[in-house]
């Protein structure tokens, strides 16, 4: 019932929001765009014909309503009237800018382009109209139609104050502003342009010899290669040959004389050309951004609404912590008297009240050894009759010793309160996670992208699943579906199933799998290997884009500096969550450890982050290699000191009180936190809210991974070989790297075909057998050996 009610509620809100939205639909944009284009054509023809027919049509203007009266304008009375208004009474010749602006606006709407730049086009257009009409206003006495009435009046008005020369200077200044702002005019650019023109004119005198020279280069072997690249940039050839022709020998155009000089001029040429080429890509990108705006990855789900706060419960803790003064005093007195029993004097004591634990910071009297206090942990716990006492001696960065004492009545830290906190809302992080609150009741927000991977462990029932939900929820509240994708592995089959509803928004899966959430351990191996392929692909993309990490890559892609035709695309973050990692290691063992370690080592730069959770924090699960690559670790309560050491390399997790009480470390410091509580019904509501919105057609697809068992056809039948077999073999041998993704990339093939070719290469003895996530060994050392091998086969 309750679910139904929330469903209908969310439906209601979406329809209400739909009504309020004034955004025109795509169809309306096309219709309106076409109208503007037609109108602009009509205006253009009206204006054109106005110049020939205006005198005849003068008398028509007063007879607009008379159906029998006809005007000579191409668009009859409409054309005559509108043109009279714009051209005669308005801005004269400059009015032609209006049909142009209307046409551009119409095209933007018609093609559904991003209209951000349109406003500036209109502003500059209007500036141009005013400038033109004032400038042409100078000729109003002889040709009144050039500047129109407004142009004349404005010119006259300005002349009354500044005189003719003054108006002229003002116009020159405004022209300068237009040139600089609109056309990026610079004195150097102007000089370059002038120089280029000069060279062009010079070369026109030497046309014949220049043809001669190009031919010489063509005949030369190397020359022909140069030419093919030059073809794209014809200017290069021109400059190249023109420079050639500048020497005084132009009349004879002796080939031998000219060629050595080529080298000399080449140096000049390179110095000039290189920056121009660099600028070219930047200029193209800037032009694209100007015309279409920055690339917006969120556009496809432009109407996506982030989950609202009211989907989360306050858990009765919105008012903050209730301080029990008596409890505070009592604990303080007990601590002081216990220490006194052991002859430890206290100079000062201070309490910081957290949601579950209160920290008593003491400054011992001079001469007291800190280790003495540390050893009294159990005695203090006994005298306070409380579980979960932890002594931090000394507190890092402070000259004090901390004693953490659990509160009698712990306050639940609701997910709602941490999500609503300023710290989270204003967090400028790539993947912000609001874990909960610290001992001083501050919201604790960290960036998963910086961690860059996280290990979460704790005995059963201590809050691990809630912790995982808190992490995922944080990201769902902050990230658009285009920006982050989750891969969820849930061997328990019940913990993460709720996220099925957001499969087409936020989840990623293998192309051939039905379920996005992986519950079968054997399938995890394929997913991990596929992620390794994704990682390799992403590294290739980063390399070709010449950036160091995914953030820079996406910035460059958004600025349209990377061409999607070269395989570039917006790269969302991928977060792999594995619940019950111990279970996975038990069933799949080494096979998963290797790709996980590889991902953990290399994936940070390319936006793949791993979160693994386990309730069995033993050394054969959390192995050295895993630990080394997971610097961010979270420990919920564990049963033994050894477990605590396995997770954190420090004790303390055994002294936690459970129910979300946790220790977090990202290197050296260990922070005690109360994990935010998000209950299953809340997660259900959030996923329902997201799931009911428009989604992508399917879950984000990971690269296909062809496992060992699928490469069965190892028969070495030459006739059955792929048409690209030889090319692929050459690629593999040249690169000395036997990977299907290399073939895929270089030969632009699908993964399945590339996989088949790799199998055929294996059958032919060119690459070695499958070696998990590693590339196969290449058995042929060089191209010569390859040719011989293939020739022998053919015999």
Ligand X SMILES: Nc1ncnc2c1ncn2[C@@H]1O[C@H](COP(=O)(O)OP(=O)(O)OP(=O)(O)O)[C@@H](O)[C@H]1O
Q: Which is nearer to ligand X, 637 or 721 (CB)?
A: 637
Q: Which one of residues 345, 461, 567, 750 is an interface residue with ligand X (CB under 6 A)?
A: 461
Binding string, residues 763-782; x marks residues near ligand X by CB under 6 A? --------------------
Strands 700-701 and 508-509, sheet pairing = parallel
Q: Which is nearer to ligand X, 154 or 418 (CB)?
A: 418
> How far apart are CB 366 and ligand X at their closest, in Å?
41
Q: Which one of residues 33, 92, 209, 463 is an interface residue with ligand X (CB under 6 A)?
A: 463
Q: Which is nearer to ligand X, 614 or 744 (CB)?
A: 614
> How far apart are CB 681 and ligand X at their closest, in Å?
12
Q: Which is nearer to ligand X, 552 or 679 (CB)?
A: 679
Instruction: Kindly report the three-state secondary structure assignment for every residue of 208-249.
Output: HHHHHHHHHHHHCHHHHHHHHHHCCCHHHHHHHHHHHHCCHH
> How far apart are CB 595 and ligand X at their closest, in Å?
25
Peptide bond into 452 cis (omega under 30): yes
* CA nearest to 484, candidates 594, 572, 354: 572
Is 347 annotated for ligand binding?
A: no
Is 33 annotated for ligand binding?
A: no
Long-range contacts of residues 199-205, Cβ cutoff 8 Å, at least 24 apart: 199/238, 199/239, 199/242, 199/243, 199/246, 200/238, 200/242, 202/242, 202/245, 202/246, 203/238, 203/241, 203/242, 203/245, 205/250
Q: Which is nearer to ligand X, 393 or 410 (CB)?
A: 410
Q: Which is nearer to ligand X, 464 or 478 (CB)?
A: 464
Is 69 annotated for ligand binding?
A: no
> How far apart are CB 676 and ligand X at their closest, in Å?
6
| CA dihedral (700, 701, 702, 707) positive or negative | positive
- CA distance linking residue 40 with residue 44, whole number of Å: 6
466 binds ligand X (CB under 6 A): yes
Stretch binding ligand X (CB under 6 A), from 460-468, 581-589, 694-702, 719-727: 460-468
> How far apart are CB 495 and ligand X at their closest, in Å?
6
DSSP classification of residue 631: -
Is 691 annotated for ligand binding?
A: no
Q: Which one of residues 464, 478, 485, 721 is an interface residue with ligand X (CB under 6 A)?
A: 464
> How far apart are CB 680 and ligand X at their closest, in Å?
8
Residues 596-615 that bind ligand X (CB under 6 A): 615
3-state secondary structure of 52: helix
Cβ-based neighbour number of residue 540 at 10 Å: 15
- CA distance linking residue 245 with residue 239, whole number of Å: 10
* CA nearest to 85, candidates 70, 103, 73: 73
Is 63 annotated for ligand binding?
A: no
Element (H, E) at 157: helix 144-183
Binding string, residues 384-413; x marks residues near ligand X by CB under 6 A? ----------------------------x-
Q: Which is nearer to ligand X, 13 or 318 (CB)?
A: 318
Q: Which is nearer to ligand X, 332 or 464 (CB)?
A: 464
Q: Which residue is listed with tokens 């989604």?
A: 695
Peptide bond into 394 cis (omega under 30): yes
* Cα separation values, 101 from 36, 88, 110, 120, 230, Å: 10, 19, 14, 11, 36
Is 316 annotated for ligand binding?
A: no
Q: Which is nearer to ligand X, 464 or 485 (CB)?
A: 464
Q: Which is nearer to ligand X, 258 or 465 (CB)?
A: 465
647 binds ligand X (CB under 6 A): no
Number of separate helices (H) and strands (E) present in the chain? 29, 15
- CA distance linking residue 587 with residue 569, whole number of Å: 36
Q: Which one of residues 213, 358, 407, 465 is an interface residue with ligand X (CB under 6 A)?
A: 465
Q: Which is nearer to ligand X, 84 or 464 (CB)?
A: 464
> How many residues line the site for ligand X (CB under 6 A)?
14
- CA distance linking residue 115 with residue 149, whole number of Å: 32
> How far apart are CB 438 and ligand X at their closest, in Å?
14
> How far apart are CB 582 and ligand X at their closest, in Å?
10
| CA dihedral (403, 406, 411, 415) positive or negative | positive
318 binds ligand X (CB under 6 A): no
Is 458 annotated for ligand binding?
A: yes
Is 465 annotated for ligand binding?
A: yes
Instruction: Kindly report the three-state secondary structure assignment for every residue of 61-120.
Output: HHHCCCCCCCCCCCCHHHHHHHHHHHHHHHHHHHHHHHHHHHHHHHHHHHHCCCHHHHHH
659 binds ligand X (CB under 6 A): yes
Q: Which one of residues 660, 691, 703, 755 is an interface residue with ligand X (CB under 6 A)?
A: 660
Residues 559-588 that bind ligand X (CB under 6 A): none
Residues 672-691 that bind ligand X (CB under 6 A): 675, 677
Q: Which two tokens stand for residue 544?
A: 């070709």
655 binds ligand X (CB under 6 A): no
Q: Which one of residues 460, 620, 713, 736 is an interface residue with ligand X (CB under 6 A)?
A: 460
Residue nearest to ligand X (CB): 660
Tell me if 568 sits within 8 A of 545, measured CB to CB. yes
Give 376's Cβ-side CA count (13 Å radius): 22
Rounded to 5 degrees, φ, ψ at 720 are: -85, 0
Q: Which is nearer to ligand X, 10 or 462 (CB)?
A: 462
Strands 432-438 and 443-447, sheet pairing = antiparallel
Stretch binding ligand X (CB under 6 A), from 280-288, 418-426, 446-454, 462-470: 462-470
Q: Which is nearer to ligand X, 469 or 629 (CB)?
A: 469
Binding string, residues 430-459; x marks residues near ligand X by CB under 6 A? ----------------------------x-
> How far apart are CB 388 and ligand X at their closest, in Å?
14
491 binds ligand X (CB under 6 A): no
- CA distance linking residue 279 with residue 285, whole number of Å: 10
* CA nearest to 134, candidates 103, 104, 166, 102: 166
Element (H, E) at 758: helix 751-763
Q: Residues forming the annotated binding site?
A: 458-465
Q: Which residues bind ligand X (CB under 6 A)?
A: 412, 458, 460-466, 615, 659-660, 675, 677
Q: Residues forming the annotated binding site for ATP?
A: 458-465
């Amino acid at each position: 019932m309750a679910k139904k009610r929330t469903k209908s509620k969310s439906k209601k809100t979406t329809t209400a929001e739909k009504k309020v939205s004034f955004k025109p639909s795509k169809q309306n944009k096309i219709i309106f765009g076409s109208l503007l284009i037609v109108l602009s054509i009509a205006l253009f023809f009206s204006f054109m014909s106005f110049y020939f027919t205006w005198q005849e049509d003068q008398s028509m203007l007063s007879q607009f309503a008379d159906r029998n009266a006809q005007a000579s304008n191409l668009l009859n009375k409409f054309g005559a009237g509108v043109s009279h208004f714009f051209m005669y009474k308005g801005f004269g010749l400059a009015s032609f800018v209006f049909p142009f602006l209307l046409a551009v606006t119409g095209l933007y709407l018609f093609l559904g382009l991003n209209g951000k730049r349109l406003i500036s086009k209109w502003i500059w257009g209007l500036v141009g109209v005013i400038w033109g009409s004032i400038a042409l206003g100078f000729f109003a006495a002889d040709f009144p139609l050039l500047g129109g009435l407004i142009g004349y009046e404005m010119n006259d008005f300005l002349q009354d104050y500044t005189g003719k020369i003054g108006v002229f200077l003002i116009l020159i200044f405004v022209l300068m502003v237009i040139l600089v702002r609109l056309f990026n005019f610079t004195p150097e650019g102007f000089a370059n342009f002038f120089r280029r023109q000069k060279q062009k004119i010079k070369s026109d005198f030497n046309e014949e010899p220049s043809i001669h020279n190009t031919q010489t280069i063509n005949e030369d072997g190397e020359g022909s290669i140069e030419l093919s690249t030059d073809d794209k940039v014809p200017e290069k050839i021109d400059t190249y040959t023109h420079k050639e022709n500048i020497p005084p020998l132009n009349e004879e155009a002796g080939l031998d004389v000219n060629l050595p000089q080529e080298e000399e001029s080449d140096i000049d040429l390179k110095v000039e050309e290189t920056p121009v080429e660099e600028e070219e890509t930047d200029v193209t990108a800037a032009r694209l951004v100007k015309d279409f705006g920055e690339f917006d990855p969120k556009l496809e789900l432009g109407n996506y609404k982030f989950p609202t706060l009211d989907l989360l419960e306050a858990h009765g803790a919105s008012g903050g912590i209730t301080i029990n003064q008596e409890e505070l005093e009592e604990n303080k007195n007990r601590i002081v008297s216990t220490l006194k029993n052991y002859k430890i004097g206290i100079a000062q004591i201070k309490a910081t009240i957290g949601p579950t634990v209160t920290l008593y910071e003491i400054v011992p009297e001079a001469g007291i050894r800190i280790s003495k206090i540390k050893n009294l942990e159990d005695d203090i716990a006994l005298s306070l009759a409380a579980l979960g006492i932890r002594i931090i001696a000394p507190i890092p960065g402070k000259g004090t010793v901390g004693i953490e004492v659990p509160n009698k009545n712990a306050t639940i830290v609701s997910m709602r309160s941490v999500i609503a906190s300023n710290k989270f809302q204003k967090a400028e992080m790539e993947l912000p996670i609001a874990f909960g609150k610290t001992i001083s009741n501050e919201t604790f927000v960290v960036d998963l992208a910086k961690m860059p991977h996280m290990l979460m462990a704790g005995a059963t029932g201590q809050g691990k699943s809630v912790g995982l939900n808190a992490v995922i929820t944080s990201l769902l509240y902050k990230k658009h579906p285009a920006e982050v994708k989750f891969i969820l592995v849930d061997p328990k089959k019940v913990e993460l199933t709720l996220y099925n509803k957001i499969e087409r928004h936020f989840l990623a899966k293998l192309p051939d799998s039905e379920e996005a959430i992986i519950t079968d351990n054997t399938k995890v191996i394929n997913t991990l290997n596929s992620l390794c392929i994704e990682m390799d692909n992403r590294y290739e993309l980063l390399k070709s884009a010449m950036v160091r990490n995914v953030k820079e890559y996406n910035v460059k892609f958004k600025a349209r500096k990377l061409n999607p035709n070269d395989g570039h695309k917006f790269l969302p973050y991928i977060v792999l969550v594995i619940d019950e990692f111990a279970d996975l290691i038990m069933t799949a063992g080494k096979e998963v450890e290797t790709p996980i370690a590889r991902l953990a080592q290399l994936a940070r730069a390319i936006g793949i982050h791993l979160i693994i959770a386990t309730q069995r924090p033993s050394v054969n699960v959390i192995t050295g290699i895993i630990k080394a690559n997971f610097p961010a670790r979270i420990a919920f309560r564990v049963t033994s000191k050894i477990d605590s050491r396995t997770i954190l390399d420090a004790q303390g997790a055994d002294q936690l009180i459970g129910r979300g009480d946790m220790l977090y470390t990202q290197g050296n410091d260990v922070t005690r936190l109360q994990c935010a509580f998000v209950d299953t019904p809340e997660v259900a509501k959030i996923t329902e809210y997201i799931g009911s919105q428009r989604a992508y057609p399917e879950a984000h697809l990971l690269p296909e991974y062809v496992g060992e068992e699928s490469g069965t056809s190892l028969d070495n039948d030459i006739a059955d070989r792929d048409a690209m077999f030889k090319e692929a073999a050459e690629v593999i041998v040249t690169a000395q790297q036997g990977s299907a993704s290399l073939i895929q990339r270089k030969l632009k093939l699908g993964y399945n075909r590339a996989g088949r070719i790799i199998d055929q290469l294996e059958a032919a003895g060119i690459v070695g057998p499958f070696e998990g996530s590693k590339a196969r060994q290449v058995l042929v050392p060089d191209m010569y050996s390859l040719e011989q091998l293939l020739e022998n086969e053919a015999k």
